[in-house]
Amino acid sequence: MNRKPYRDMLDSAAANSLSRHTDLWPGIAARIERKPLMSVIRSRPWAVILTALLILLALSGTAYALGRALGYIPGVGVVEVDVPPLRILAEPVTVEQQGITVTVSKVIADPTRTFITYRVEGIPFIEKQQPACLGLPELILPDGSRLENTGGGDGIPVLRDGDTLHFEVDYTYTPIPVGVMQVTLALPCAPTTGANASSLQVPLSLSPAPADYVTPVVEAPLAAATAAPTPDDQSTAQPVSRSGLQLEKVLQMGDAYILIGSFTDGGDLGAPLYMSTASDSEYLPRIEDAHGSPVPFKVREDLRPDPDWDVAYHWAYEVPASAAAPLTITVEQVNLRRYHIGSMQFDTGADPQNGQMWQLDQPVQLGAVQILVESVTFVGDGYTFKLSSDNLPEGVTPDADIANTNLSPYLSNDINVSSTFDGSGDTAQCTVTLTTQGASPPTGRLTVNWGLEELVPKTGPWSLVWSPAAP
């Protein structure tokens, strides 16, 4: 693989997502000349007092948010509904400009975020010219300030319909301030991007959501949840840290409970955790009722919290409220990530010739996988290794890195890796090429470090017992 197209693609993707080309210099110059904070305090104490008051006000508002009424909206998740009232788009809005039609179908504004869904149709597609409207839109308040994008981007991807393109997407932004009922969606809809770009403005009116707009949700207390003992606990008097299931929130919605929690790596797994909690995951738990009978459940991906990367993986399961408590949630197995490294050496001599090949047939053990480095060929600015293996997982090629003890250990900084793979037969074969992209590669006696990541099953079980609080 040549990485140049990767860089070009990322560059184009970023450039086309930027709505403008701002000259940063005036801002930088102003910041360099800006007075330090202490001089501001001395010269404008009233401004500091006002800022402190605003911060206190914001903090008290955050505390007040605890205990607010909640509601569920399909595709959006849980929202806060009572104070201030949930605001939604008064009615769908369609704006057409130069053949491009933008339809905003959903805006939901609660004290925690702003959610918007819109569709763009009729985007002209002109060869060699960037289509419009693909960039990140802005949500602009009546005072001209802009909400910050906080996520989203899901929806229907760009599809071609004759000579035009269309797509649908949703985004989330920071909250619309209380009392604000007008907001403008500004899409970077111009056949060009950069300095000449213009935006397509869609004025949006909000209104309080009707009472039946959301499915009421009640947050239930957590006190009745306990981690069940694991087999390890019986032989360990006082485990200091333990991985396992943690229940973090319970929502009651209609005739069901939504159990939301995490699988937390307590540091005792022995290797980094790899776990997916998607609905088609192999790590789905088993949920049993008080009689040991299986409890049917649904994975609620729309209610699952954001992950705490490298620390915990979150889950959200919906169980019927009628299930006989207590319920026991059990995860039987997770996968751990292990990285295996093996080394080999070969000697190129002082002056290798382009196309020169060395037959090596050196075995390298990488965990449970053994690779055979059959040969290496000098390709002018690097080396191509031919590998085979009887038990290399399909589609996997080991990492390679050259270290030359006679040179700087950082020499391999400039080495690029490319590889091809053929796993069609019983023996997998692949090639790995290390090149310096034109510079002189290391020669002489070289050490090659091979690396291979492996997912290793770790069996539990890890269980959690939960009962709803008594009414």
Partner 1 sequence: MDDQQAIQRLKRGDIGGLEILVARYQARAVRAAFLITHDELQAEDVVQEVFVRLYHKIGQFDATRPFEPYLLRSVVNAALNSTRRLRKQVSLDGDLRQVEQLLAQSLSVESEVDALQLQQQIITALAKLDPRQRAAVVLRYYLEMSEKEMAAVLDAPPGTVKWLLNAARARLRDLLGVERSAP
| Nearer residue to partner 1 within complex by CB, 278 or 324 | 278
Residue 131 binds partner 1, judged by CB under 8 A: yes
Phi first, then psi: what are they for 192, rounded to 5°? -130, 160
From 98-106, 273-281, 324-332, 350-358, span contacting partner 1 (CB under 8 A): 273-281
- Measured from the CB atom, the residue of 231 and 272 that comes closer to partner 1 is 272
Which region among 3-11, 103-111, 179-187, 239-247 touches partner 1 (by CB under 8 A)? Answer: 3-11
Q: Among residue numbers 208 through 247, which ones bind partner 1 (CB under 8 A)?
A: none
By beta-carbon proximity to partner 1, the closer residue of 23 and 255 is 23
Q: How many CB atoms lie within 10 A of CB 310?
A: 9
What count of residues does the chain have? 471
Task: Out of 227, 396, 407, 456, point to the residue binding partner 1 (CB under 8 A).
Answer: 396
Distances (CA, A) of 13 to 123, 188, 295: 18, 14, 46
Closer to partner 1 by Cβ: residue 22 or 226: 22
Handedness of CA 344, 348, 354, 360 (dihedral sign): negative
293 binds partner 1 (CB under 8 A): no
Residues 6+ apart with CB under 8 A from 36: none
Cα–Cα nearest to 76, from 154, 186, 168, 166: 154
Query: Binding residue for partner 1 (CB under 8 A) from 168, 219, 381, 453?
Result: 453
**Out of 193, 199, 243, 277, the residue judged to bind partner 1 by CB under 8 A:** 277
Residue closer to partner 1 (CB basis): 221 or 395: 395
Question: Within positions 170 to 209, which residues make up the interface with partner 1, using CB under 8 A?
Answer: 172
The conformation of residue 206, written as its DSSP 8-state character, comes to: E
5 near partner 1, judged by CB under 8 A: yes
Q: If we measure between CA atoms, which residue out of 90, 121, 105 comes closest to residue 200?
A: 121
Distance from C-alpha of 161 to C-alpha of 101, rounded to nearest angstrom = 14
Is 307 a binder of partner 1 (CB under 8 A)? yes
Q: Give min distance, CB of 353 to partner 1, in A.
A: 21
Helix (H) or strand (E) holding 226: strand 226-227
**How many residues at the interface with partner 1, by CB under 8 A?**
90
Pick one of 92, 239, 367, 451: the residue that binds partner 1 (CB under 8 A). 451
Could you say whether residue 270 binds partner 1 (CB under 8 A)? no
* Other Cβ atoms closer than 10 A to 237: 6
Which amino acid would we find at residue 318? Answer: E
Please, what's the largest Cα pairwise distance for the chain?
A: 84
Contact at 8 Å (CB) between 94 and 204? Answer: no
**Cα Rg of the chain (Å, integer):** 29
d(CA 229, CA 279): 26
**CB of 10 vs partner 1, minimal distance in Å:** 5
* Cα separation values, 176 from 53, 140, 152, 181, 205, Å: 21, 10, 17, 9, 12
CB of 246 to partner 1, least distance (A): 16
Q: What part of residues 11-50 is at the interface with partner 1 (CB under 8 A)? A: 11-25, 27-29, 31-32
Taking the complex as a whole, the smallest distance from the CB of residue 193 to partner 1 amounts, in Å, to 11
Of residues 409 through 448, those in contact with partner 1 by CB under 8 A are 410, 412-415, 419-424, 429-431
Binding to partner 1 (CB under 8 A) within 331-360 occurs at: 337, 339, 341
Nearer Cβ to partner 1 (248/453): 453
Choice between 145 and 241, CB closer to partner 1 = 145
How far is it, in rounded angstroms, from Cα 275 to Cα 252?
27
Instruction: Report the distance separating Cα 354 and Cα 370, nearest Å.
Output: 29
85, 92, 124, 152: which one binds partner 1 (CB under 8 A): 152
**Residue nearer to partner 1 on the CB measure, 239 or 423:** 423
The DSSP output letter for 282 is T
Phi, psi of 60 (to 5 degrees): -65, -35
User: How far is Cα 431 from Cα 451, in angstroms, rounded to an integer?
Assistant: 14
Instruction: Match 């979150």 to its residue by tokens.
Output: 314
- Check residue 61 for interaction with partner 1 (CB under 8 A): no
Quick check: 393 binds partner 1 (CB under 8 A)?
A: yes
**Closer Cβ to partner 1, 87 or 304, answer by number:** 304
Q: Under the criterion CB under 8 A, does residue 314 sit at the interface with partner 1?
A: yes
218 vs 75: CA distance, rounded Å: 19
165 binds partner 1 (CB under 8 A): yes
